[in-house]
Amino acid sequence: MPPRSRQPQPHPQPLEPLYTLKVAAELIPYYGTSEALGAWLRRYRFPKRYTHVGRGKRRMRLLSHSELLAIRQALVKEIQPHHVQPSQAAVKTTRAARKRVKQR
């Protein structure tokens, strides 16, 4: 009897990358320290996820990619573009400069 070949089972959900607070503070961009970002996360009750690092088993907090995007959306403001054409602004400044030169 030939051996049965095992079909690989697909993952139920794709795995999300995890980031430490130090990396997350650089990616968001968060202008405080990573400790300040941790305080912000505690204030807004984001879920806690830790890994243990080193011989002393120090805990290091991790953030998933979807949490990182949610934090970025909450902290980074989108600046609306102005409705002035750059060429129009340049024409106005050059006209004003010409008037100043003529008045002298």
Whole-prediction pTM: 0.58
Decide if 20 is inside a domain.
yes
CATH number assigned to the domain comprising residue 50: 1.10.10
- Find tokens 């088993």 and name the residue: 57
- Residue numbers of the domain that contains 39: 15-76
Q: Residue 86 and residue 1: Cα distance in Å, rounded?
A: 77
Decide if 87 is inside a domain.
no
Question: Contact at 8 Å (CB) between 60 and 20?
Answer: yes
Decide if 66 is inside a domain.
yes
Decide if 2 is inside a domain.
no
Q: Over the stretch 5-53, which tens digit does the pLDDT of each residue have?
A: 677 777 677 788 999 999 998 888 877 888 888 998 999 899 999 999 9
Higher pLDDT, 97 or 27: 27
Decide if 103 is inside a domain.
no
Decide if 70 is inside a domain.
yes
Decide if 95 is inside a domain.
no
Closest listed residue to residue 49, CA positions, set 67, 75, 26: 67
Decide if 9 is inside a domain.
no
| pLDDT given at position 77 | 75
Q: How many domains does the chain have?
A: 1
